[in-house]
Amino acid sequence: MVDLLPEPLALWQHVEATARAHFRRAMVQEIRTPLLEVTELFARGIGEATDVVGKEMYTFLDRGERSCTLRPEGTASVVRAALEHGLLSQGPQRLWYSGPMFRYERPQAGRQRQFHQIGLELLGQASPRSDAEAIAIAWDLLQDLGVQGLALEINSLGAPEDRQAYRQALVAWLRQRAEALDPDSRQRIDTNPLRVLDSKVPATQALLADAPTLLEALGLESAARFGQVQALLQELAIPFRLNPRLVRGLDYYSHTAFEITSDQLGAQATVCGGGRYDGLVEQLGGPPTPAIGWALGMERLLLLLSQQQTQPVEASAPQACVLSRGAAAEARALQLARRARSAGLRVELDLTGAAFGKQFRRADRSGARWALVIGEEEAAAGRVRLKDLRGEDPEQLLEAAAAIARIQATQPPAGGGTAKLA
């Protein structure tokens, strides 16, 4: 688990603001759920045989002897909240969330035990168009953020009956080759055989090249549905490739599963992943409800954007620094800083009372263009001295309102956008 410090957080905030704008335009509403849930929610929703539930959750008994778990993912919590508050009785729900998740994993670049996700959940949506829309929102968001080398991989996990038939065929195939599998994959044959397909062991992956695939086991309806999803993606000009080994890591998925990767990340290439989970709402005690969603990992995305040297245009630098010396001047400086901030400017107030030479050096290092200076003479005259620290404009003695207006005219207040660093 790591601390998030002020300087890199500028990029975090830019990603969050961009995501918020995309969701707003797509009429997706935010939902916030607790970090702590009853353990049964994840055992039922994610699946007791998954690595997440079996090996990675932070679970403990509270003082009431109730088993509690720090949420390892967001979907089960969103569905629980939608059921608990009767949202599904109001029609389809278009929801998004963000925040920390917790898994006891081996820490590595872009993956910590407390990690952060931004996710989308479309509840009550059955049409193949909802699959395409969910994927399009993720794809457009990542493109807008400037992520390079994007690729979309899709697969269909079919309906429950398709997956059950496939599971039986896969188990029979794996048992015949059990001795050639890695230990974890051998253990999964009887508990979660589809997860064997996601093994990262090279020898197992090589063996699986000849394994039966889910696409071969799809029934006519599931195959037709998946064909519609592919056609819609083609119409949206979103390139994709079929990956028959893509199963995702959680039990609640059905039909469309997908991952968006970047070739800039090496082995940990997945930036966003998700899929359809038509059985989860019913599994958690609600009515049969189709749904699709995805989540993107913030740490991995930020690692990628940092490697690409992408940062917000709006840096953490102030637009102006207020410098003062002397009791009367310092009192007026506090008023001036507040007034300038109310006008929308980023303003740093020097509180040291040091000699003006030291204050000017600090202001110059801050990256600000302007210094608003109040000494004894300026305080007595009710004026402020406006100094261009970059030397482009002559120094002026102005009223506070005029000085603020001058800064506004030459440098806009906080904005958005991205830029490449030189």
- Phi, psi at 254, each rounded to 5°: -150, 155
Least confident of 17-21, 144-148, 243-247, 410-414: 410-414
What is the DSSP code (8-state) at residue 421? -
Amino acid, single-letter form, for residue 415: G
What are 96's strand-pairing partners? 30, 120
Tens-place pLDDT, residues 282-334: 989 999 999 999 999 999 899 888 887 655 545 568 999 999 999 999 999 99
β-strand 370-374 against 384-388: which pairing, if any? antiparallel
Q: Where are the beta strands (DSSP E) in 298-368?
A: 310-312, 320-324, 347-349
Could you tell me the pTM of the whole model? 0.82
Domains and CATH numbers, the chain: 6-159+219-311 (3.30.930.10), 320-420 (3.40.50.800)
Q: Sheet holding 67-70: strands in order across?
A: 36-38, 67-70, 58-61
- Res 107 pLDDT > 90: no
Q: How confident is the model at residue 119 (pLDDT cuts 50, 70, 90)?
A: very high
Tell me, what's the pLDDT at 315? 52
Quick one: tokens of 337?
Answer: 């800083």
- Res 388 pLDDT > 90: yes
Which of 33, 49, 72, 43 has the alpha carbon at shortest distance from 283? 43
Query: What's the rounded mean pLDDT across residues 151-174?
Result: 88
Cα–Cα distance for residue pair 117/115, rounded to 1 Å: 7
Share of the chain above pLDDT 70, in %: 90
- Res 108 pLDDT > 90: no
